[in-house]
Amino acid sequence: MQHPLRRTAVACALIGLAACGSDSTSPASGNNNAPDNILFTTATVKSLDSTGQVIVTANPGNRDLQSLLDSTFSVFTAGIQAKRIDIQTNLTALPLYFVGIHRAFNHANSSSSTWTLIGLDDPSHLGSLIELSGFAQNTASTAPSSVSGSVGSGFVNGMFLQVGTAGAVTQWHTGTGTVSFTSDAPGAACPGFAATPIVTCAMETMHVTFNTNATGGSGGAGARQAAVTTTIDVPTMRLTYTL
């Protein structure tokens, strides 16, 4: 069973109108002139919001897209940079930029964490996106800092997306593979986030490995996979909830 919080994911990334893919597995690295990091400005976020709404409108009734849009937008408005990381995938050959969300829910005798990893290509002409998620809970007053497991176990899950003409979306839900998340201690406060008595935002580094596979996608699309066997370090927004 998929944990309901896995949908706290990819949203703002769903903003381009051109799909791209490949039947062969190769590093998603693209040209060497692509920047190492992307920091989303106010103007960029506004543009992404506009084109993201095109995708939501083109897919009425798809709650995943709306939830992902609402959730992931917060990463970019909080001032977290997306980092270019090469992985093995047949979803796209373009460079992929990764960013994370770690939500920590602290409560006496019952705490939990959710993790979301987002990988997207050129955000101004987005065609492909990878989203992986994890969930862990304990009986302590501090939320767990790591989780690993098999895809579909209810603790880790994955999804691939390609965006086509007029905002049409092809989706793949991964059915096999493994994912591992580990979070460092929180660092400096997020520069673009207004803290409240209940929730604060800090920057952290998320350490991730994964090897995930989907046998087919919507509309009869063929199999897709994505993997990175050496741990990657991902810039992450850590939201801490005190309940």
Strands 224-242 and 97-106, by their bridges, are parallel
Question: What letter would DSSP give residue 188?
Answer: S
CB 180 within 8 A of CB 147: yes
Taking the C-alpha atoms of residue 234 and residue 241, their distance in angstroms, rounded to an integer, is 21
- Provide, for the chain, the percentages of residues in helix, strand and coil under a 3-state DSSP scheme, each rounded to the nearest 5: 20, 40, 40
Count of domains observed in the chain? 1
Q: Which tens digits make up the pLDDT trace of 223-233?
A: 999 999 899 99
> What is the three-class DSSP state of 46?
helix
In the block, tokens 């979306």 appear at 169
Residue with the larger pLDDT of the pair 81 and 215: 215
CB 121 within 8 A of CB 97: yes
Q: Which tens digits make up the pLDDT trace of 58-113?
A: 888 877 777 666 666 778 788 888 999 999 999 999 999 999 999 999 999 999 99
Q: Name which of 233, 87, 236 is nearest 160 in CA terms.
A: 87
Q: What is the pTM of this model?
A: 0.84
Instruction: Measure CA 151 to chain center.
Output: 15
Q: How confident is the model at residue 10 (pLDDT cuts 50, 70, 90)?
A: very low
Range of the domain at 203: 4-242
